[in-house]
Amino acid sequence: MTAPFWRQEWSSFFPPSISGRGLLFLSLLFVFQTGCAPRLQTDTPKTSSSWTVFTRQQTTIKPLNNFSIKTSINYSSREHKHRMIMRLFGRLDYPIRMDLEAGIGRTISLWREEIDIWQAYFPEEKKMYTSSDAKFGVQSLGFPCPFDLRELSLILQGKLVTILPAQPVRHILQDTGSRIFFAQPARMESIRVDPLGRVLELVGSKGWRVVFDYRDASLYSHKISMFMDDTTSAVIRVKSIGPGTFTTDLAIELPDGTETINIVTIPPVLTNETNAPPP
């Protein structure tokens, strides 16, 4: 019976004509090339060191339930470029408000989110947009952000694990950190983390991506860049994060004559054969 290949003598892999010195050279060359091969990791989540470091780091971050966050936003698209001030405040258990102002203090829009309703009021248009799906409402208005207000509040406070799938399926070690992939179909495709467990990049399954910048060893990103496509982006710079005290429902006061527009989500079209969405 032939021994398993991993137990055969090294000499059996080379022809007799190779000398001992040549055999030693080839052996060292094999070891060197093996050590330089791409480091593809297919660890399970329990043994994935990068995922473990990330989740352990996330347990140290305690976001404020009652919060007040101030940022600046540089928005860019093919047609427009704007700089805005964003104030995001409320409670993680709702309600949450987001007020957008131009650099000169002019109010652009006022947003409000509850668990079952999203609103966006534009005073210059005297229009209030509403939707039962916050993400759908945000995307319908073309706002360059793939998150609802609660998710954005968590991300700005450094808590990303709550918006990710429960477990990854694989990871790849790269020069700029570890790329962790999630099973598809899913809203999130992958994240890239550094050795400290900080998220450097978040990639969505629909092509958008979010890049995080940090100062020194801080666990909190001071600049978050969102790229929805090749021409549309928003760069958020965090100015301050602190506790908020709110005793009202943060309702948006509408003047007389305001038009209310309900943004209705479009259900998928079902095929006759399978009663499933077409590919």
Residue range 196-210, pLDDT digits in tens: 999 999 999 999 999
Residue 264 confidence (pLDDT) = 86
- Whether 121 is in a domain gets the answer yes
The domain in which residue 90 lies consists of 49-262
Q: Quick check: is 56 in a domain?
A: yes
112 lies in a domain? yes
- Residue 175: pLDDT band (50, 70, 90) is confident
Q: Is residue 105 part of a domain?
A: yes
Q: Residue 181: inside a domain, yes or no?
A: yes
DSSP character string of 67-126: EEEEEEEEEE-SS-EEEEEEEEEEETTS-EEEEEEETTS-EEEEEEE-SS-EEEEETTTT
pLDDT tens per residue across span 45-92: 443 689 999 999 999 999 999 999 999 999 999 998 999 999 999 999
Cα–Cα distance, 114 to 106 (Å, whole number): 25
Residues composing the chain: 279
**pLDDT tens-digit profile of 129-157?**
999 999 999 989 988 999 999 999 999 99
Chain mean pLDDT for the chain:
83
74: domain CATH number is 2.50.20.10
pLDDT value for 16: 39
User: In total, how many domains does the chain have?
Assistant: 1
Q: Is residue 246 included in any domain, yes or no?
A: yes
Confidence check: pLDDT of 171 > 50: yes
Would 213 be classed as within a structural domain? yes
Residue 189 lies in a domain: yes
Q: Distance between CA 72 and CA 69 in Å, rounded?
A: 10
